Structure 1
């Protein structure tokens, strides 16, 4: 059995003593729970689609080890190489996002995916974490030197990204990107006049989205007036939590997965609530909260401004995605097709989250020095 001592100067040995092992454990638990939940929720979906019962299970268990390897490999990088990876990823997935508008299939009125054989790729899932790191770099450069218009470059990139998202259209993801970018800009020392301006722009944009996108208006209307109908998935999800109670009906014994079209993706938290109960749901929520809060606590001692902004953006994005998915399942916000990190089924989601978590672990590693990137 291989053991690492503090004197071990190998790449893996150094990684082991500098990486946040508690976050690794929390992520590992989420990944394991995700495997269990896909195993519990997806056979009913596969049967409904006339597929082999373990169609989604086999695919997810093929994705999981690759995602784990991806997290480990990226977490070995220095902050400088994380930045370089983000720049390359941002450019590459921006091109693929443009390609979705030109050649991507239309699904439910949106062009968000590219088909590669049996694998469907959603480039914007990878664009989100890459943009967060690139934006952090620009904000940090502005603070380092006024000769580089980092804020203006970041604003231009932000406008570029949200334009691509709205053209698909994907209003929900646009809101997530806006929230993450605004949080980073605020941490970077956003002037108060800009705060007021962005709040006004946000209110106007929300009203415009409601007016211009019928599916957005429909979701908001159904959320504000549940009695109006059209809330089939939300109603089934709420029934699942009521049926599950505190301790659930038992693994595999739930019925909601046979009624919900998205039980293995957007509404897997409802399946978790029915089969494992409120107690396990609270444990999952606690794991997400632990990862986010521990990540921010480690940033309190960080000297490099780019690392602080990049990691804060990634943590905000990770936590916000979990909050939105859980909030939708609990009817606390309008429906939005967003997966639960590391638990929902999906290759694009899994690999994009592996990219995010790998970069986050790399940025949050303990490093000696005065804040210079190495």
Structure 2
């Protein structure tokens, strides 16, 4: 055991949380995947479990590799990655494939594995925003200057995510607003940005209504989800109804591991609604335990922030850490009918390679910050992208 701890750095509690969530996820994914076996008509529950385990092992490898990288490299790396993710998002919109019935323009296939580019884009964008705010911490931020350097890249990326994935766009935009507020961006300018964002969304909705062939079913899908949430009708209402039945059947201690009934009726039982299956099988006790673990992760994120010596490190941890907690909260809120269906997975528990990998990448960044004790603000600001490439190659 001592040998293992010699190689892993950073907050040990976060490492433990990742391991607990990953190991706990085995049984719910294995149990819920029986639905996929019959609905999809291919594979087996054991096969889905093996795939999930492999994805988690790769996720741990990502965490280990990323946490070994000095976190100042992520600052310049975000500038390098911005044009890459713009290209990937454009490619995804034009060439995306359907994964498990999901919207066609959300996914691309890499080596036979579905990859959701918007998740990577959100991660890069949060690091880029943290970089901008830290570099201007001692400057008076001008609105016109920030429009070009900060909000133009944000607008381009979000506009490419929006047509296929409104919920992810909304989450990223909300997180960016929170980080910019904490990072000292002028409040009077934030009001203008929020107004511009709402205006852009309205223009998009009107354009989609006027030219339905360009973006088929997207706005209608949003309307259906909101209507289903308020009127208890439609496909989304059916899923939520089954999720509520599963939660009710779980009572205090659950029906037992692998004995869920509603997994046979929930189309997204291994991803979007896996929390309902957990509560059905492990009861209120199991559901409360999961909530508690994410709460502890949030607490440890703030512990890392408290020990961080640079503005960039603080904003980086907030920027990549809060979305994990936010996503988990939304997933559980959807399962308990507190929020409309969004398609957000439960981090490190739901099946799905992109979600697991990007969560692990974010956690690796947080661990990199927590492992660093000698970084100064000058080190972070000396992050010219060309220098980053040169140091990486060396």
Please, what TM-score do these two structures have when normalized by structure 1? 0.89
1:306 matches 2:312? yes
Q: Match for residue 126 of structure 1?
A: 120
Q: CA deviation at 1:254?
A: 0.7
CA shift at 1:108, angstroms? 5.4
DSSP 3-state at the match of 1:121: strand
1:53-132 aligned at under 5 Å gives the runs: 53=44, 54-105=46-97, 110-132=104-126
- Cα contact 2:35–2:267 (8 A) shared by 1: no
Q: Secondary structure at the match of 2:106?
A: coil
Report the equivalent of 1:8. Answer: none
Residue 194 of structure 1 aligns with which residue? 189
Deviation for aligned residue 1:204 = 4.8
Alignment of 1:231-242 (within 5 A): 231-242=237-248
Q: What is the alpha-carbon distance in structure 1 between the residues aligned to residue 298 and residue 286 of structure 2?
A: 19
Using a 3 Å threshold, how does the CA distance of structure 1 residues 108 and 275 change in structure 2: closer, same or farther?
Answer: closer
Counterpart-to-counterpart distance in 2, 1:364 and 1:45: 39
**Conserved? CA contact 1:328–1:336, under 8 Å:** yes
Distance 1:180 1:136 in 2: 11
Q: In the alignment, what sits opposite 2:169?
A: 174
User: Please, what TM-score do these two structures have when normalized by structure 2?
Assistant: 0.85
Match of 2:136 among 142, 154, 168: 142
Contact 2:260 2:280 in 1 (8 A): yes
SS of residue matched to 2:93 = helix
Q: Deviations 1:259-288 (Å, cap 9, x if unpaired)?
A: 111101111111101001111111111111
Unaligned runs of 5+ in 1: 5-11
Deviation of residue 200 (structure 1)?
Answer: 3.6
Cα distance in structure 2, aligned partners of 1:13 and 1:371: 28
Contact in 2 for aligned 1:248/1:278 (Cα 8 Å):
yes
Q: Is the 8 A contact 1:171 1:209 kept in 2?
A: no
Q: How far apart are 1:156 and its partner, in Å? A: 1.1
Match of 2:275 in 1: 269
More deviation, 351-360/81-90: 81-90
Structure 1 range deviating more: 75-84 or 175-184: 75-84
Distance 1:203 1:157 in 2: 17
Q: Distance in 2 between matches of 1:197 and 1:205?
A: 12
Cα root mean square deviation, aligned: 2.5
Which is further off, 212-221 or 268-277? 212-221
- Aligned residue for 1:300, secondary structure, equals helix
What's the offset of the Cα at 1:333?
A: 0.7
Q: Aligned in 2, Cα 1:287/1:209: closer, same or farther, shift over 3 Å? A: farther
Question: Is the Cα–Cα contact under 8 Å of residues 250 and 283 in structure 2 kept in the other structure?
Answer: yes
Corresponding position of 2:39? 48
| CA displacement 1:53-97 (0-9 Å, x = unmatched) | 223212111111111011011111112123244444444333221
Give the direction of change, closer, same or farther, for the CA distance of 1:147–1:223 in structure 2 (3 Å limit): closer
Q: 1:99 to 1:346 in 2, by over 3 A?
A: same
In structure 2, the gaps of 5 or more residues are 209-218, 381-394
CA distance, structure 2, for counterparts of residue 219 and residue 205 of structure 1: 21
Question: Which stretch shows the higher mean deviation, 137-146 or 316-325?
Answer: 137-146
Q: Deviation string for 1:191-239 (max 9, x for gaps)?
A: 2312333444455566667765121111111112226785110000000
Instruction: Classify 1:87/1:361 alpha carbon distance in 2 versus 1 (closer, same or farther; 3 Å).
Output: farther
Change (3 A) 1:321 1:209: farther
1:339 partner SS: coil
State the aligned residue count.
364
Would you say the 8 A contact 2:227–2:233 is kept in 1?
A: no
Q: Contact 2:137/2:184 (CA < 8 Å) preserved in 1?
A: no
- 2:130 partner SS: helix
Cα distance in structure 2, aligned partners of 1:206 and 1:166: 9
